[in-house]
């Protein structure tokens, strides 16, 4: 679910958007240091939410629907509520991309692909070296497969975002050709089609939101907000939107008592779309600047590529989380959950900072 990503400015002004900011593969330039931090903060929150979803439902599994709200155990409520508040991560990342618009350039693609390769191949190489050191053999086929980051990967968002990236020039051009009314009507019909035919009726084209079509839908919603909805400094809208996010998230948790987790927590579930848009709008109304926030936001996508890499996820993250869940009290696990999520993010931010400063070594005679 994880994973995204574009840059931030005070308002959607394309001239201020760095062309190399795709999929979170952003250099921490002087321009980025000076950017307003509202959407950068949302990018951090969204990635922490993605990590949180993986530490919750993907690690612990979600409770089966009991159909009796009074019979739900405390630990089951914990998992449902946490999942409901954090499931917005992927949608929010794509909304931000739509708000500012993706700029299709070869340089953007190379940065996106380069970051994916760095973590995919890099982590696999380290694991292979550890195996060899322990007396095992180097698996050349497995190592070679790690280079195929857009086809042979468990990180579904990587190839899905590439699809959105490739479609973005067509989507951007189409939006420019439409009036606000035309865009609004077509977008409403497109959302209804995805919700009804996809989520409600289980259409294979977008049954649960893990598709390029879902990203296209959220991207277009972000484009509409960026083009036609004034956000900056609107305090009433901020509180109303945040309240809507909380209410929709709590309603999603209750839905989980009666519906399967695959239905309840699908990215194209109406309540999840609503909570995602509401949180994005709430952050859009903020006005502040922080170099620390901007620096941390530049490592958001790296946190996804790091912790959800199969070698890291299967061998370390999921087993540790599951062990803590079984052996700790709920309060102890909650503290672990918060600390572990923050530690993963911070570690990825530091590693990605070092990655961005790697330079070829010049060899002199």
Residue pLDDT, tens place only, 161-220? 999 999 999 999 999 999 999 999 999 999 999 999 999 999 999 999 999 999 999 999
Give CA–CA dist 129/127, Å, rounded.
5
Residue pLDDT, tens place only, 329-358? 999 999 999 999 999 999 999 999 999 988
Residue 213 sits at the vertex; the CA angle it makes with 211 and 217, to the nearest 5 degrees, is: 125
What is the reported pLDDT for 2? 37
Say if CB 124 and CB 311 are below 8 A apart: yes
Residue length of the chain: 365
Contacts of 1 (CB under 8 A, 6+ apart): 50, 53, 54, 58, 87, 89, 90, 157, 210, 267
How much of the chain exceeds pLDDT 70, in percent? 88
What is the reported pLDDT for 36? 79
Question: Within 10 A of 259 (CB to CB), how many other CB atoms are there?
Answer: 16
Task: Give residue limits of the domains in the chain.
Answer: 14-356
Residue pLDDT, tens place only, 276-307? 999 999 999 999 999 999 999 999 999 999 99
Question: Residue 229 corresponds to which tokens in the numbers above?
Answer: 């909805």
Give CA–CA dist 65/220, Å, rounded.
33
pLDDT tier at 3 (50, 70, 90 boundaries)? very low
What is the reported pLDDT for 100? 92
Place of tokens 């050349």: 140
pLDDT tier at 18 (50, 70, 90 boundaries)? very low
Please, what is the average pLDDT of the chain?
90
Span 229-235, average pLDDT: 89
């Amino acid at each position: 679910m994880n994973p995204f990503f574009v840059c931030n400015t005070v308002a959607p002004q394309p001239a201020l958007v760095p062309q190399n900011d795709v999929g979170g593969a952003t250099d921490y330039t002087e321009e980025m240091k000076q950017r307003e931090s509202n959407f950068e903060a949302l990018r951090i929150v969204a990635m922490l939410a993605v990590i949180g979803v993986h530490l919750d439902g993907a690690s612990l599994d979600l409770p089966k629907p009991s159909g009796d709200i009074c019979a739900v155990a405390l630990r089951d409520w914990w998992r449902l509520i946490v999942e409901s508040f954090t499931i917005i991560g992927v949608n929010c990342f794509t909304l931000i991309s739509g708000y500012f618009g993706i700029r299709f350039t070869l340089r953007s693609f190379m940065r996106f692909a380069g970051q994916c390769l760095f973590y995919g191949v890099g982590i696999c190489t380290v694991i292979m070296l550890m195996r060899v050191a322990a007396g095992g053999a180097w698996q050349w086929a497995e190592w070679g497969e790690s280079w195929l980051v857009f086809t042979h990967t468990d990180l579904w968002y990587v190839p899905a975002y590439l699809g959105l990236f490739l479609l973005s020039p067509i989507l951007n051009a189409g939006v420019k050709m439409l009036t606000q009314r035309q865009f609004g009507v077509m977008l409403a019909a497109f959302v209804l089609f995805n919700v009804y035919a996809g989520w409600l009726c289980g259409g294979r084209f977008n049954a649960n939101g893990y598709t390029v079509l879902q990203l296209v839908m959220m991207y277009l919603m972000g484009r509409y907000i960026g083009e036609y909805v004034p956000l900056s400094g609107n305090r009433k809208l901020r509180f109303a939107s945040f309240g809507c996010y909380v209410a929709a998230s709590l309603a999603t948790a209750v839905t989980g008592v009666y519906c399967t987790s695959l239905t309840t927590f699908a990215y194209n579930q109406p309540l999840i779309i609503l909570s995602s848009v509401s949180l994005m709008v709430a952050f859009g109304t903020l006005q502040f600047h922080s170099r620390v926030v901007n620096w941390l936001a530049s490592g958001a996508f790296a946190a996804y590529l790091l912790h959800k890499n199969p070698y890291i996820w299967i061998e370390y993250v999921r087993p540790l989380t599951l062990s803590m869940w079984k052996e700790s009290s709920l309060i102890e696990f909650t503290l672990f959950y918060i600390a572990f999520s923050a530690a993963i993010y911070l570690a990825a931010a530091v590693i990605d900072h070092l990655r961005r400063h790697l330079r070829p070594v010049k060899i002199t005679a």
